[in-house]
Structure 1
């Protein structure tokens, strides 16, 4: 292998959601010890610090049918989050509505 043949991963995992980059992710994706934990029936959330690989895992599972499971992502933007917080501050969401709203978002 020549140095020019090396493939460098993207800095931003968002690029792996693009159809023409799916194969690149499949070639570069490293299945660490957490991979099998994510496949457990009892795993519902992937939480971690910025840069810990959450988006890369999401892209990998969304791009591939893993263990007969098809994954989808439902991104919540900072603007969406801020709108919810502002509605709460403005008194447009009581505690029950606020909790119900977050349960619905997390259940997606």
Structure 2
């Protein structure tokens, strides 16, 4: 989980806890308090789902970037190996020809 996600979850949890505590001490009817608690819980759940979705999106982006970087590195290595192989074969052929002469 990224730091941004942790901050969002922390702020949402603190806001929810503050709202619940504030409602518990408010001089209102029980039904009103229960409705506000329900709304607060729904908002918290929505914020949590948003944070999780953002985390998934960020994870997918990072995974794609890592995969692209790995493919690029692989292509470079394969190209370098082919280049070295060709050079070794050329030099081996030249060496073999020099021995024949």
TM-score (norm 1): 0.27
Higher relative contact order by CA 8 Å / sep ≥ 6: 1 or 2? 2
Answer with 1 or 2: which has the greater Rg: 2
TM-score (norm 2): 0.29
